[in-house]
Structure 1
Amino acid sequence: MLFIKNAEIYTMAGEIIADGCILIEAGKIKEIGVDLVAPLDATVVDASGKKVFPGFIDAHCHIGMWEEGIGFEGADGNEMTDPVTPHLRAIDSINPRDEAFENAIKGGVTTAATGPGSANVIGGTFAVVKLHGDRIDDMVVNPSVAMKCAFGENPKRVYAEKKVTPTTRMGTAAKLRETLAKAVEYDKKIKFAGDDVSKMPAYDMKLEAMLPVVRGEIPLKAHAHRADDIFTSIRIAKEFGVKLTLEHCTEGHLIADHLAKEGYFATIGPSLGSKSKFELNNKTFDTPRAMVEAGCKIAIMTDSPVIPLEYLPMCAGLAHKAGLDEMEALKCITVNPAEVLGVQDRIGSLEAGKDADIVIWDRHPFDLQAKVEMTIVNGEIVYQK
């Protein structure tokens, strides 16, 4: 057992507890509050003068898919040989021994959704993983949380060089529609066949992978920076009645009123760095504030390794600096990503019964001088300064 005492606890469940305590047992938060008594067999952590937060969560990155300090040998995020690859799974490429995992833990980030890049129209499934461990099978929270798809410049750039479809935005949309339509038809045949094996359609690995999408079990995770690409992703999602989350949403501030009416969750970023391509021309840290004020629900991402994952709290802090309310900015890296990833019953806030993913900071994490004193994952101290 672990017992944290004398802490200022940001529960992210509606309250900040001054001089609070947390009792951790069997990897879970057993009790949280004030005036708790430490069991005799508990390891006591005195957090006097410190601030305690839930482990931060990045809802969109590529950690372990492009490894630190290495080129081709560690680049396993884009299968650039076929624009439609829904049967690919992130868990088959993630290397948890990549030093980026340790860096993230030291930076207070304990969970991430990681997966394929945006070279393909359909790239494969993202996974939600805890960031401590040496075997990905033991770190997975959800192996197939969403199906990555991509709009805009990246797919057309990759496949224009190969002189195959898609070389235009029309081609990208058509490829996605074609695959969704085939998946819907494949699903109909399976349901029609019932228990009659003789009537079952021929096995198709790609369409099998798309069944959770067309059945509404997982969303399309749509890479879209520019406003027109965002609207195309929404248009196609509506046509097929599938779930959708908006990823990057760089021009979201320009269309925030429309997005608020549509009601799709958006994960914003990476907002730090150069405008490396045309569709990033309107990139700004103003986007989170504008979207929240319009009524959108959002998270903030690093898109690691674009921004190293340990700088997720800095990205939220820069959004706060640009006008986003402080607590809203904190929600963007705690409860909001937990919700969009469907893991809010386990992580994202400090409450009894949830996973004990806890970070002790020496000051508020939006302060650039802030340092992590201790990181706890599943009730285990995995980093201590």
Structure 2
Amino acid sequence: MLIYNAEIHTMDSRGSIENGWLEVEDGKIKALGEGSPAAVPEDSIDACGGLLLPGFIDAHTHLGIIEDGLDFEGDDCNESTDPFTPQMRAIDGINPFDRCFEEARMRGITAAASSPGSANACGGEIAAIKTYGRRIDDMLIRNCGIKFALGENPKNVYNGREETPVTRMAITALIREGLYKARRYVHDMDSYYSDSENYDPPEYDIKCEALMPLLDRKIKAFFHCHRADDICTAMRISKEFNLDPVIIHGTEGYKIADILAEENIPVICGPLMCDRCKPEMRGLELKNASVLHESGVKTAICTDHTVIPIQYLPLSAQAAVKGGLSLDDAIMTITAYPAEILGISDSTGTISEGKDADLQLYAKGCNPLDLMSEPLLVMIDGNVCRREI
């Protein structure tokens, strides 16, 4: 398939191609260029000067793991019977038939990170997925990290039961204990593999096994935290165990934006269009994403679906524009930047040869973040999910 006569925003170093064309083959972007293509096959799409973008990416959601229209029956987000559960995998709780997947792709959202919740000090493994498909295994891009949570959520869940953790100290101690055990487990495994005659393998521990890729920096540590002091705690833990950290929410990130920039730690901001529903969110400001970006922090914007329905991801980015972010930078926070933060930029997030054909097309002159905007065309892995042209 060929899309031509398009204003292509690649969202990479090449910037925009004013009058361009793009060829899709076998679910990938085969080629793109400027001007008119050499030939126009029958199945080609005339973009009529419209805006061609990579699909939007929501860097933090609970898509499919908290199902729409259901209560406990469809909520598989928090295994809150144990405050430390790195062995839980979001992919095992996601229902791809949840109606919100369709709502996402109809608004041009082609990928999302679906995460365990924040009831536990450690909630489990985050899955970066496409929003098109019937079997989650086929939709998986990669398991991109382990979810940790600092602050009020674990405190509130376990305080009601009079179980640990009920303080920030205890939350951090649980995380530290789990990571230390995993580090020792790795050491014992290495000793066994290097000298099996003199060392026995450690007894199998599923929690330690789940944390091994984290300690090897093959996946990232995603820390749910709102307050600036909790963000600093995440930094402290990451330094102790040489983790590759990402801050989720980062509501008070603007208070320490210079520190985050110095430490080169990315932030996934959101939700933005919500009330200050708990004490640790009383510092919520629309300027957060703008301040972080201007300070040199790699910043993505999220909905935290189901907190904000995922189809309002572009509107959330527009809210950040109201807070001071430029329109072009706001689009980057829901395309290229989340792909980089999630570790999936080799396949999606920008328009370039060899990447997945995750694309969306808007009418000429349209602001893709506007509430009333709708894509004329949405493709995921080359599959046409929506076509109005």
TM-score of the superposition, structure 2-length normalised? 0.96
Cα deviation for residue 40 of structure 1 reads 6.0
Report deviation, 1:264.
Answer: 0.5
The equivalent residue for 2:352 is: 351
Matches within 5 A, 1:1-385: 2-14=1-13, 15-37=15-37, 39=39, 41-142=41-142, 144-194=143-193, 196=196, 199-362=200-363, 363-385=366-388
| TM-superposed deviation, 1:345 | 1.4
Change (3 A) 1:42 1:192: farther
For residues 35 and 263 of structure 1, what CA distance do their matches in structure 2 show?
Answer: 39
Moved more, 32-41 or 69-78: 32-41
2:244 partner letter: K
The answer as to whether partners of 2:314 and 2:370 remain within 8 angstroms in 1 is no
Distance (Å, rounded) in 2 between the aligned partners of 1:273 and 1:127: 25
Show CA shifts across 1:104-126 (max 9, x none). 00011000111100000000000
Tell me the secondary structure at the aligned position of residue 44 of structure 2. strand
Alpha-carbon shift at residue 19 of structure 1 (Å): 2.2
Q: Secondary structure at the match of 1:372?
A: coil
CA shift, 1:366, in A, is 2.1
Which range moves more in the overlay, 329-338 or 192-201?
A: 192-201
**Deviation sequence 1:23-80 (CA, Å, 0-9, x none):** 1111111111223436565511111142111001111111001111111111010111
- SS of match in other structure, 2:316: helix
CA distance in 1, matches of 2:19, 2:36: 11
Unaligned 5+ residue runs, structure 2? none
Identity %: 43
Report the RMSD for the aligned CA atoms in angstroms: 1.3
- CA positional deviation for 1:361: 1.6
- Cα deviation 1:216-251 (Å, max 9, x = unaligned): 211210000001100011111111111111110000
Give CA deviations for 1:331-361 in whole Å, capped at 9, x if unaligned.
1111111111111111111111111100012
Q: CA deviation at 1:87?
A: 0.4
What are the Cα deviations for residues 188-235 of structure 1, in whole angstroms up to 9, with x where unaligned? 000001162861000011111111111221121000000110001111
CA contact (8 A) 1:3 1:38 kept: no
Spell out, residue by residue over 1:249-288, the C-alpha distance to the aligned partner (whole angstroms, 9 max, x if none): 0000111111111111111111111111001101111001
Deviates most, 323-332 or 130-139: 323-332
Moved more, 149-158 or 208-217: 208-217
How big is the shift at 1:383?
1.4
Q: Indicate the SS of the match to 1:158.
A: helix
Deviations 1:124-176 (A, max 9, x none): 0001111000110111110x210000000000110111111100001100100
- Separation in structure 1 between the aligned mates of residue 49 and residue 22 of structure 2, nearest angstrom: 15
Q: Which amino acid counterpart does residue 384 of structure 1 have in structure 2?
A: R
Aligned mates of 1:227, 1:154 — CA distance in 2: 16
SS in 2 for 1:203: coil
Aligned equivalents of 1:48 and 1:315: distance in 2? 28
Does the C-alpha gap of structure 1 residues 117 and 42 become closer, same or farther in structure 2, counting only changes over 3 Å?
farther
> Quick one: which amino acid aligns to residue 161 of structure 2?
K
- What is the TM-score with the length of structure 1 in the denominator? 0.97
Identify unmatched segments of 5+ residues in structure 1.
none
> Retained in 1: the 8 A contact 2:4–2:37?
no
Following the alignment from structure 1 to structure 2, what is the Cα–Cα distance between the partners of residues 220 and 34?
Answer: 40
SS in 2 for 1:199: coil
For these two proteins, the number of residue pairs brought into alignment is 383
Q: Which moved more, 1:30-39 or 1:78-87?
A: 30-39
Displacement of 1:371 in angstroms is 1.2
- Which secondary structure does the structure 1 equivalent of 2:386 belong to? strand
Query: What amino acid maps onto 1:377 in structure 2?
Result: I
